[in-house]
Structure formats: C-alpha cells, structure tokens
Amino acid sequence: MTATTGNIGSAPAAPSMTRFYLSLDAVRNAGDKLLTGVHAVGSLPGGGAATTTLSVTVPSSMPIGSYHLLACADDQKHVAETSETNNCMPAPSTVNVSRADLVVQTTGVVGPTTVARGGVITASDNTRNQGLVTAGPSSTRYYLSLDAVKSSSDKPLTGSRAVAGLLTGAASQGSAQVTVPLDTTPGTYYLVACADASSAITELSETNNCTASASPAVTVTP
C-alpha cells in the first residue's frame, strides 16, 4: 500500500509515526484493529509531505468482513499540533478480510491395498485451497476409518505429506508412505485424508478438511 503523511501547518513538525487500522465505520474509535506495520515519518516543514510504500499485516484473529483502512498520522501523539482531531483518513476503497480454506478433493491408496499391522502403504491425495486468499504451508495426514467419516475413533497412520503454500484455487497432488500402527484391529478400512492436520492455518471452515476414499481401500491383516 502507499501512504502519504502531510504537515498542513505552517510550523515544522518533529518526526512521527503513521499507523494503520481496520475500521467498520471509517471513523477512528476504540473498536478498530491496529495493523502491524508503520510509516516512520521524518521531520516535515510546513506544507511538506512524505510518501512511502509499505506492507501491513492483518491479525489472523480478524473477523471476516469488509473494512475501511484508516491511516492515522502521529498516532502516538509525539507532535504538538494545532488540531488533534484530523489525523486519521480512510482509504478510498474498502478491504475485504477473508481466509484460506483447505479441502481434500480426492484420496486413495497407491499400494499395497492389503498390509500387515506395522506395514507401510503409499497414500495419495489432492489438497486444494478453495478460499479467497493464499494458504501457507501445511501437512496432510491419513487415517483408517470403518465408516468413511473422520472421527476420534479413527486410527491415525504414522507419517504425513508436506503441502507447500497454495494460491487461491490451486491444488497439490501427491503421495506419502505411511505406517499402519501395530495395534490396529485387522479389518477393511476407508482411507481418510485430512488437510492441515496440525491446524497451522486459520481457515474459513475447519470442518471440511477431511475426505474419505470412495470405497474401503485398505485391508489390514494380523
């Protein structure tokens, strides 16, 4: 973003900091969210101005919605001014705050489909970011399930697949070798893959990360 801080007074202004907020109503008040990143403004002569291009960070806890971006000159009030009520100005357009949303589109077993307890299988998946912003790096993990629905009773397999950051709409297809735990009950299972299994990413939805194979995919033998 680009920000310009000007001294509209006639006397020189000492160095100051311009800080930035997201606001629901374009008016600076206690409910606005301070963004990380400042414009360090040097001394300004009367009528002088300083322009910079900088990046600011929106807190991960920011609620989803549309906001006004406010720039507030001398936000820490280090400079004695003729008026302290005209320091903040909203940007001409609003900012939409959204999040990434990782989902597993497909999952399956490359092989083998029959394995002894303690054995290794190669699981595959296609993890996609269906959110409106870029997703950072994450990991997809795999589970054995009796009913194709992820639950706390499913058996986690040892190992995971690292998924690089994904732009909105982008997908990552890959596979990983995972180990069936020795205490797994013999039987036939669906393979469930869960995106962002370590909850490293704050998402639009945290309930749509897991997808099961279309049919039972793994038979575990004693």
Mean pLDDT by 10 residues, the chain (222 residues): 94 96 94 96 96 92 94 95 94 94 97 97 98 95 97 97 97 98 98 96 94 97 96
What CATH number does the domain located at 2-97 have?
A: 2.60.40.10
Quick one: pLDDT at residue 11?
95
The amino acid at 167: L
Rounded CA separation 197/210 (Å): 9
2-97 and 102-221, same CATH topology: yes
Q: Where are the alpha helices (DSSP H) in the chain?
A: none
Alpha carbons 173 and 160: distance in angstroms, whole number: 13
Give 206-220 pLDDT, tens digit per residue.
999 999 999 999 999
DSSP bridge partners of 191:
144
Q: pTM higher than 0.85 for the full model?
A: no
Tokens read off for 133: 């912003």
pLDDT at 61: 83
User: What pLDDT is recorded for position 60?
Assistant: 81
What is residue 36's predicted lDDT score, i.e. its pLDDT?
95
Q: Which residue has the tokens 């995106």?
A: 195
Q: CATH number for the 102-221 domain, one of 3.20.190.10, 1.10.1200.10, 3.40.1520.20, 2.60.40.10?
A: 2.60.40.10
pLDDT tens, residue by residue, 71-89: 999 999 999 999 999 999 9
Tokens representing residue 199 in the block: 């909850």
Task: Give residue 50's pLDDT.
Answer: 96
Domain ranges for the chain, please list them: 2-97, 102-221
In the DSSP assignment, the letter for residue 73 is T
